Amino acid sequence: MYKVFVNDKPLFLTNHISKETDFQLFLLESIDIEQLIVKIFQNKIQKAYLYHPDEKEILKTLKEKIPVNKAGGGLVYNKKGEVLFIFRNGKWDLPKGGTNKGEEIEDTAMREVEEETGVGQLKVTKKLQKTYHVFKRNGKYRLKITHWFEMTSDYEGTLVGQAEEGIEKVAWLSPIQIKEALKNSYENIKLLFEEESLG
pLDDT digit string (tens) for 94-118? 999 999 999 999 999 999 999 999 9
pTM of the model: 0.92
The pair phi, psi for residue 187, each rounded to 5°, is -60, -40
d(CA 114, CA 120): 6
Q: Across the strands, what pairs with 56?
A: none
- pLDDT band, very low/low/confident/very high, at 199 (cuts 50, 70, 90): very low
What is the structure's pLDDT at 106?
98
Domain ranges of the chain: 2-65, 71-196
The pair phi, psi for residue 164, each rounded to 5°, is -70, -15
What is the structure's pLDDT at 197?
59
What is the structure's pLDDT at 42?
94
What is the structure's pLDDT at 17?
81
CA within 13 Å, CB half, 32: 4
Question: What is the percent of the chain where pLDDT is above 70?
Answer: 97
- Look up the CATH architecture of domain 71-196: Alpha-Beta Complex (3.90)
How many beta carbons lie within 10 A of that of residue 65, not counting itself?
Answer: 14
The tens digit of pLDDT for each residue in 117-150 reads 999 999 999 999 999 999 999 999 999 999 999 9
* Nearest alpha-carbon partner for 2 in 28, 41, 38, 30: 28
Higher-pLDDT residue of 6 and 24 is 6
CB distance 33 to 25 below 8 Å: no
What is the structure's pLDDT at 22?
77
Mean pLDDT of 42-50: 94
The pLDDT mean for the chain works out to 94
What is the structure's pLDDT at 19?
75
**Does the pLDDT value for residue 21 go beyond 80?**
no
40 alpha carbon, distance to own chain's centre: 18
What is the structure's pLDDT at 198?
46
- pLDDT band, very low/low/confident/very high, at 23 (cuts 50, 70, 90): confident
